[in-house]
Structure 1
C-alpha cells in the first residue's frame, strides 16, 4: 500500500511538472519568453531533476537575451547611449546569474554592442572624473560593473583614481569639520565615507546621546475587578516586555542615551458574573404495554411521554476593559488606547440520564485570559509605526533644517525617498541617498 501511494505521488508530481512545461511551451510559441521562463522555473522548483524543463528554460533565456540585444541596438541607434548601456549591463548580469554563455550570432551581436558600450563608458567615465563629485564616478563603476569588465576597462579607469581620491579627501575633510556634539548620524556617515576613500580622520562626538533613549520605564495603574487578577497582571507584564523589546528595535533607541522614556500604562477591567439555579424539564418518550382498546385480551406497545426534572445553573457574564499607554517622546505625545466589552450566557448541569438523552454539561464561560490577551495585542499594534511616525515628524517635517546634515541623515532613516533628503545628497555627493547607501552602507 505504501509503495502504491508513493508511486501515485510521483505520478501526480510528474503530471504537475509536465503541465507547467506545456504551459511554458505555449507561451514560448507565442514569443512570450519571459512568461514562459517563469513556468519552466516553477517546474524546476517542483522537480530540480526535470531535464526537459531546464533545457526549455535555457532556450527561453537565450531568447530573452536575443530580444534584449535588439533593444540595446535600437536604443544606441536612437542615440540613447545611457539606455543602451543600462540594458546591456542588465543582459550581462543575467548571463552571469543564469550561467549562460553567448554563442554564434548572439555572441557576435553582443561583442559588437560591448564595443559601442566601451566607447560610451570611456567618454562618460572621463566626464565624471572631471567633475567635482568623485562619488558619481564610484556609482558609475558600480552601476556598469559587468559592462566595464567585459569591455576590459577596469585598468584604464583606475588611472582616474588619484584625482578622485584628492576630491574625496576634500569632501571627507568638509564633513569631518561638521562632526561634533550630537551629530551621531553624521559621525557614522563621515566615518564610513572617509574609511572607503582611505582618508584618516580623528572624529569625536558627545559620549551621551540626548536625543534618544536607552529604555522605557512603565508606571502601571491597574484596576482589575476580576477573580483572575494574577493572570491579568502576568499578561500586562508580558505586554510591557514586548513594548520594551519593540522600542529597543526602533530608531529612538540608543545604547549611548542616558534618558529613559517614562510611560504610563492603565488597565481597568471589570468582570461580573451571576449564577441562577433553576429547575429544567426534559420531556422524553418511553415504550409501555397497554390494553388494546379494540381487544381486551391483547396488549399493545405505545409511546408514553414522561418528564425528567433536573437542576441547572444559568450563568450570565459581562467583561469590559479600558487599556491605554501614554508618554512624552521628545515633547511629542506617544499614546494609544483600546476599549471593548463582551457578554456571555451559558448553562451547566450534572444530569446524566440516557433515556432523556441527557449528559452532564459544563458551562462555557468566557476565557478571560484569551480575551484580555487579544485586547493587549490590539493596544500594542502600531506601536513601532507610531515611533517611526514621531521620528518622521521630528526630523522630516522641519524644512528649516534643510542645511543641517544631521537632520537630513536622521530623516533618511525613515524616508529614504524624501525629496529634501535626496536634494541634500545630490548637492553634496552628486548622487541620491539610495546610491550612497549602496556604496557606503550608511
Structure 2
C-alpha cells in the first residue's frame, strides 16, 4: 500500500513538471521567453533533476539575453546612452546570476556593445569626477560595476580617487562641525561616512538622547469580573512582555534614551452566565401487539406514541471585553482600543435513552481564554505601525529648519522615500537616500 502511494506521488509530481515544461514550450514558441523561463524554473523547483526543464531554461535565458542585446543596440542608436548602459549592466548581472557565458555571435554582439559603452563610461566618469559630489561617482561605480569591469576601466578610474577623496574630506569636515548636542543620527551618519572615506574626526554629542526611551513600563488597570480571572491576567502579562520586546526593536528605543515610557494597559471584562432547569419531553414511537379487530385469533403490530421526560439545563452567557492602551510619546498620544461582546446559548442534559434517540449532551460554553487572546492580538496588531506613524509625525511632518539634517535622518528611518528626505540627500551628496543606504549602510 505504501509503495503504491509513493509511486502515485511520483507520477503526479512528474505529470505536474511535464505540464509546466509544456506550458513553457508554448510560451517559448510565441517568443515570450521571460514567461517561458518562469515555467521552466517552476518545473525545476518541483524537481531539481529535470534535465529537460534545465535545458529549456538555459535556452530561454539565452533568448532573453539576445533580445536584451538588441534593445541595447536600439537604445544606443537612438543616442540614449544611459538607457543602453543600464540595459547592458542588467544583462551582465543576469549572466552572472544565471552562470551563463556568452558564446559565438552573442558574445561578439555583447563585446561590441561593451566597446561602445566604454566611451560613454569614460565621459560620464570624467564629468562626475569634475563635479562636487564624490558620492555620485561612487554610486556610478556601484551601478555599472560589471560593465566597468568588462570594459576594463577600473584601473583608469582609480586615477580620480585622490580628487574624490579631497571632496569627501571637505564634506566630512562640514558634517562633523554639525555633530553636537542631541544630533545622534547625524553622528551615526558622519561616523560611517568619514570612516569609508578614511577621514578621522573626534565627534562629541550628549551622553543621553532626550527624545528617546530606555525602557517601557506597563501600568495595568484591570477589572476582570470572570471566573477565569487568573487566565486573563496571564494573557495580559504575556502581551505586555511582547509589547516590551517590540518597543525595544522600534526606533523610539535607545540604550542612551533618557526617558521611561509609561503605558496604561486597561482591561474591563464582564462575564455572566444564567441557567434554567426545566423538564424536557421527547416523544417517541414503539410498537406493541394488539388483538386484530378483524380476527380475534390474530394479533397485529400497533404504533404507540410515548413521552420520555428528562431534566435539562439551559444556559445563557454574555462575555464583554473592553481593552485599551495609552501613553505619551514626544507629546503625542500612543493609544488604541478594542471592544467586543459575545452572547451564547447552550444546553446540557444527562438523558441516555436509545428508544427516544437521546444521548447525554454537554453544554458548549464560550472559550474565554481563546477569545481573550484573540482580542489582545487585535488590540496590539498595529502597535508597531502606530510607533512608526508617531515617529513620522514627529520628524517627517514637523520639519524643523534649525535641525534639518537630524530631522531628515530620523525621518528616513520610517519614510525612506519621503521627498523631504531625498531632496536633502540630493542637495548634500548628489544622490537619494536609498543610494546612500546602499553605499554606506546608513
Q: TM-score, normalised by structure 2?
A: 0.98
**What pairs with 1:275-294 in structure 2 (closer than 5 Å)?**
275-294=275-294
Give me the whole-angstrom Cα distance separating, in 2, the residues matched to 1:132 and 1:253.
37
Q: What per-residue deviation string (whole Å, max 9, x for no partner) do you get for residues 305-359 of structure 1?
A: 1111111111111111111111111100111111111111111111111111111
**Count of matched residue pairs:** 442
Following TM superposition, by how much is the alpha carbon of 1:403 offset from its aligned partner in structure 2, in angstroms?
A: 6.0
1:296-315 matches, cutoff 5 A: 296-315=296-315
Show structure 2 runs of 5+ residues with no match.
none
Pairwise CA distance, 1:8: 2.3
2-side partners of 1:59 and 1:140: how far apart?
32
* 1:93-172 matched pairs, under 5 angstroms: 93-172=93-172
The 2-side partners of 1:375 and 1:11 are apart by: 46
Contact 1:139 1:439 (8 Å CA) reproduced: yes
User: 2:275 touches 2:313 (CA, 8 Å); kept in 1?
Assistant: yes
Q: Is the 8 A contact 2:289 2:299 kept in 1?
A: yes
Check conservation: 1:134, 1:165, Cα contact below 8 A.
yes
Residue number in structure 2 paired with 1:266? 266
Distance 1:32 1:49 in 2: 24
Name the SS of the counterpart of 1:161 in structure 2: helix
Shift of 1:7: 2.1
Q: Calculate the TM-score normalised by the size of structure 1.
A: 0.98
3-state DSSP of counterpart to 1:220: strand
Name the structure 1 match of 2:56: 56
Aligned residue in 1 for 2:324: 324
Larger mean CA deviation between 90-99 and 291-300 belongs to: 291-300
Partner of 2:408: 408
Q: Structure 1 stretch 330-339 or stretch 234-243: which is displaced more?
A: 234-243
Match of 1:89? Answer: 89
Find the aligned partners of 2:276 and 2:32 in 1 and give their Cα distance.
Answer: 73
Could you tell me how far apart the structure 1 residues matched to 2:222 and 2:6 are? 59
Change (3 A) 1:242 1:403: closer
Aligned-partner SS, 1:346: strand
Alignment partner, residue 340 of structure 2 = 340
For 1:261 and 1:23, the matched residues in 2 are separated by 58
CA contact (8 A) 1:273 1:316 kept: yes
Distance in 1 between residues matched to 2:413 and 2:401, nearest whole Å: 16
Give the C-alpha shift of residue 2 in structure 1: 2.6
CA contact (8 A) 2:399 2:407 kept: no
- Kept after mapping to 1: 8 A contact 2:400/2:407: no
**Counterpart for residue 6 of structure 1:** 6
Partner of 2:193: 193
**Secondary structure, counterpart of 1:323 in structure 2:** strand
For residues 375-420 of structure 1, give each alpha carbon's deviation from its aligned partner in whole angstroms, at most 9, with x where no partner exists.
Answer: 1111112111111100000000123438621100000001111111
Q: Secondary structure at the match of 1:359?
A: coil
Q: CA deviation at 1:6?
A: 2.0
1:428 equivalent to 2:415? Answer: no
Check conservation: 2:211, 2:258, Cα contact below 8 A. Answer: no
C-alpha deviation, 1:366, in angstroms? 1.1
Q: How far apart, CA to CA, are the structure 2 residues paired with 1:398 and 1:38? A: 46
CA contact (8 A) 1:172 1:199 kept: yes
